[in-house]
Amino acid sequence: MEFDAFVLARMQFAANITFHILFPSISIGLAWVLFYFRARFTLSGDRAWEYAYYFWVKVFALTFAMGVVSGITMSFQFGTNWPGFMERAGNVAGPLLGYEVLTAFFLEASFLGIMLFGKDRVSNRMHLIASFLVAFGTLLSAFWILSLNSWMQTPSGFSMENGRVMVDSWWAVIFNPSFPYRFIHMTLASFLTTAFLITGVSAWRRRKKVDGPATWNVMKTGIVIAAVLAPVQILVGDIHGLNTLEHQPAKIAAMEAIWETEKGASFTVFGLPDEESRETRFALKIPYAASWILTHELDGEVRGLSEFVDHPPVGWVFWSFRVMLAVGSLMLLVSWWAAWHVWRDRAPGPALLWALSWMTFSGWVAVVAGWYVTEIGRQPWVVDGVLRTADVVADHASATLTGTLLGYVALYVFLLMAYIGALRYLASKPAASLVIKQQPIVSQQQGTEGAH
Amino acid sequence: MEFWLPIIYVAIMGLALLIYVVLDGYDLGVGLLLPAADEWEKDIMIASIGPFWDANETWIVLGVGVLLIAFPMAHGAILTALYIPVTLMLMGLILRGVAFDLRVKAGDHRKQLWNRAFFLGSLVAAVSQGWMLGAYVTGLRGDLTSHLFALLIGLTLPAFYLLLGSTWLLMKTEGALFDKALRWARWSVLPTGLGLLAVSVATPIASGAIAAKWFTLPNFIGLLPIPVSCLVLYAGIVWLLRRDNWLREGYSWVIFVAIVLICLMASLGLAYSIYPDIIIGEMTIWEASASVSSLLFTLVGIVITLPAILFYTIYVYRVFRGKATELSYD
């Protein structure tokens, strides 16, 4: 691959969006989990739920801040690196992004302050409402941005005038063909990421013997979410795949590395797709499986890559897809293994705790791999069939792009280490619940004046 | 519609950016003051901006968002030309934003590191914003005059943020920290004044288009209230900063309001100087504008949500009114 300005600009965007998506994929799910903890405390008065809330709200604040600052970068990068996209598709992209800012960003950012620092300044009910509004804001945000992303995958409701996109129907733009599937798939992904995060950290705390009464509550919540949603996600993923087959068959052909159109196509479990010789080397195949998965018929016809003039780079899409499938399957296995313990009301053994703590960031791997499938799978288009990525890139010097790319990557690696380090540090502190439990509520409030 | 919509949008964009400069200005200013405070004061200072910074920063997203929504043709051109300062500003904002959390969550042994990151991020963001403004006002030419002008604003804006930040601290702190904040405010008022004066003198020199607008009759007389009111407000600020007792009684908000008014006047002057262009001498707001259908669709949302946003922003400020106490996540 030649590192020209175009490739560098794409790498920069990929670096930014890869880093960015890590945090929303936690904060969407975690916001609702926090609301659940807060509501459980309000309803039952059980302090364990409150401690769970105050532990995880710290993680949420950190995650949210990382998401905000990396998200601002994205909003500027549309202009700095991809001006052609806004010039030509701005009539769609602008309003959708605008609605995200107006309906979601301000809501989340404003009520987050109350959620984090306001418990002594507002009523319990208002605090609960603030937690709800923040959670609701994260979903709204996902709604708008995924609507735009889906429109770029399956554009509808527009016509072209002088090379610019003109909207004919906002309804058709927002609820474009792939949007409902992508929205549900991503929301579930966020809940699964969160479930494995909170379960993993709790398992780790238990292994390090710094857990408290809240830890098991958190773990159970995470396990139940994961065990219920993992199979649902697999089903939704399958339906999403069928939608992609209908609208972006080239992406599916790349995901499965099917070079020629065939009936009764087999599913390649492993292999090295080679675009030059147009074959998959060392392929390990399950006969008829691809046809069955995609058409739900053993001898269904699947269109091959040779049918498409433009198709995405096969290796990346093929492998990202397999990584996502593998992590998803692992999530199903581990969550059901853990759920069996919850069902039987048994304490998890060392092996399970070990497995769960190793799965802490499994959601990240699956989410990033999944986005690579869908985003790289859209190439060479930025808006499928309408605008080519190469036609919208800004004309910057390669040296400038290399410099800023290195800067961003260094910053992101550093921040990711800091994030995980902070999480580890917070998790390794003995459970606050054990320490504060004996104190009456009043002294805690007075304590905020001088306490460090 | 085709005539009015771009005007409405440019006004909304200006408003969002003005609110951004004031709101994120005071918290970036507090970040710039951080090295001058001792450990305990640092905690209070950051606590005074903790509940607000996130929403403050959202105003720049709205500002650049409106640029993108309403003027997609200019959005790309402006941000491409400002690529380096924008990138630096983003890195600064990233560093500052995460430092908020990491300085208290990454462990005590790392606190020093994150305090420095907080300061550094605030400084880089403030200077780059000045640089961006300077480059924008000179029409994104990229020649020596415009670089010098950008440098001048790049130095003036942080000074201005220092004044805003220390005034914010006058409102939000008490005791020894209040005394320090007063010293900081008195110290930063002179560079701010000199900077603003220099920028006012340099603007018509750096931009012929603006000079032509300023120094013709009757424009000149019409514009006169702007520098005059700024001078009066500035003199008022200098005078009020000497009235210790009065400030201690809780009237420091008057200074804050005066600074905001200077900011408003400067924005009006700027708006007048640029209008009706979106890129000076290159592109008018009508040439850069998105389609009427897209503008109307978003305007409906703005009309509904902007009052709501202002309402709950004020609500949040009311919830956290009064002197800042140390914030605790527990």
* pLDDT tens digits along A243-261: 998 888 889 888 888 888 8
Residue by residue, pLDDT tens for chain B (330 residues) are 788 889 999 999 999 999 999 999 999 999 999 999 888 888 889 989 988 988 898 899 888 888 888 888 888 888 888 888 988 999 999 899 889 888 888 777 888 889 999 999 999 999 999 999 988 888 777 788 888 888 999 999 999 999 999 999 999 888 888 999 999 999 999 999 999 998 888 888 888 888 888 888 788 888 888 889 999 999 999 999 888 888 888 888 999 999 999 999 988 988 888 888 888 888 888 888 888 888 898 899 899 999 999 999 999 999 888 887 766 554
Q: How far is A346 from chain B (nearest CA, A)?
A: 31
SS3 A301: strand
Is residue A421 in some structural domain?
yes
Partner-chain contact A452 B326, CB within 8 Å? yes
Nearest CA in chain B to A428: B107
Instruction: State the best of A91, A148, A420, A452 to mutate against chain B, taking most chain B CBs within 10 Å.
Output: A91
Q: Is B244 an 8 Å CB contact of chain A?
A: no
Q: Are A120 and A448 in contact (CB under 8 A)?
A: yes
Nearest to B65 among A101, A108, A170 (CB): A101
Question: What is the mean pLDDT of the segment spanning A137-143?
Answer: 94
Say which of A84, A112, A122 has its CB closest to residue B76. Answer: A84
pLDDT at residue A448 in the model: 37
Q: Is the pLDDT of residue A437 over 80?
A: no
Neighbours of B241 (CB within 10 A): 20
Among B66, B67, B94, the residue with its CB nearest the CB of A69 is B94
Interface of B with A in 92-121 (CB under 8 A): 93-95, 97-98, 100-102, 105-107, 110
Contact B68 A167 (CB under 8 A): no
> Are A411 and B90 inside 8 Å of each other by CB?
no
Residues 132-151 of B with CB under 8 A from A: none
CB contact under 8 A, B57 and A411: no
Radius of gyration of chain B (CA): 20
Q: What does the alpha-carbon distance between residue B214 and residue B224 come to, in Å, rounded to a whole number?
A: 9
**Inter-chain residue contact A411 with B95, CB threshold 8 Å:** yes
ipTM entry: 0.86
Residue with the bigger pLDDT between A437 and B68: it is B68
In a domain, A225, yes or no: yes
Q: What number of C-beta contacts closer than 8 Å exist between A and B?
A: 237
End-to-end alpha-carbon separation of chain A, Å? 54
Contact A94 B309 (CB under 8 A): no
Mean pLDDT, chain A, whole residue set: 87
Q: Do B301 and A98 touch (CB under 8 A)?
A: yes
Rg (CA), chain A: 23
| Chain A residue numbers touching B117 (CB-CB < 8 A) | none
Min Cα–Cα distance to chain B from A304, Å: 38
Structure tokens belonging to residue A178: 């792939």
In a domain, A274, yes or no: no
Inter-chain residue contact B305 with A97, CB threshold 8 Å: no
Whether residues A101 and B101 touch (CB distance < 8 A) is answered with: no
- Tens of pLDDT, residue by residue over A180-223, are 999 999 999 999 999 999 999 999 988 888 887 788 889 999 99
Q: Is A258 part of a structural domain of the chain?
A: no
Enumerate residues 6+ apart whose C-beta is below 8 A from B310: none
State mean pLDDT over A372-376.
93
The stretch A349-365 carries a mean pLDDT of 92
Nearest to A86 among B54, B75, B305 (CB): B75
> What is the domain partition of chain B in residue ranges?
4-319
**Number of domains into which chain A is organized:** 1
Cis peptide before A155 (omega within 30 of 0): no
pLDDT at A430 over 80: no
Smallest CA–CA distance, residue A123 to chain B, in Å, is 11
CA distance B219 to chain A (A): 34
Confidence of residue A70 (pLDDT cuts 50, 70, 90): confident
Q: Is the pLDDT of residue A39 over 80?
A: yes
User: Domain containing A138: what range?
Assistant: 5-235+317-450
Residue A273 lies in a domain: no
Tokens linked to A291: 């046809």
Answer whether residue A159 is part of any domain: yes
User: Would the pLDDT of A404 be above 80?
Assistant: yes
CA–CA–CA angle A32, A36, A42 (5° rounding): 140
Q: What is the pLDDT of residue A363?
A: 94
Is residue A447 very low, low, confident or very high in pLDDT (cuts 50, 70, 90)? very low
Q: Is residue A282 situated within a structural domain?
A: no
In the three-class reduction of DSSP (H, G, I as helix; E, B as strand; rest coil), residue A267 is classed as: strand
Q: Above pLDDT 90, what percent of chain A?
A: 42
Cβ within 8 Å, pair B75-A90: yes
B303 touches chain A (CB under 8 A): no
| Inter-chain residue contact B90 with A72, CB threshold 8 Å | yes
Contact indicator for A387, A381 with CB cutoff of 8 Å: yes
| B97 neighbourhood in chain A, CB within 8 Å | 65-66, 68-69
More confident site: A367 or B320: A367
Which helix (DSSP H) or strand (DSSP E) does residue A285 occupy? strand A279-286
HSE toward the beta carbon, residue A327, CA cutoff 13 A: 22
C-alpha–C-alpha distance, residues A351 and A362, integer Å:
17
Domain B4-319 carries which CATH code?
A: 1.20.1630
On whether the CB atoms of residues B286 and B279 are closer than 8 A, the answer is no
Q: How far lies A225's CA from each of A63, A185, A211, A221, in Å?
A: 20, 15, 21, 6
User: What pLDDT, on the 0 to 100 scale, is given for residue A303?
Assistant: 87
* 3 state SS of A348: coil
Contact criterion met (CB < 8 Å) for B75 and A75 = no
pLDDT classification of A231: cutoffs 50, 70, 90: very high
Closest alpha carbon to A285 in A299, A264, A302 = A264
- Select the more confidently predicted residue: A75 or A387: A387
Measured distance CA(A289)–CA(A297) in Å, rounded = 9
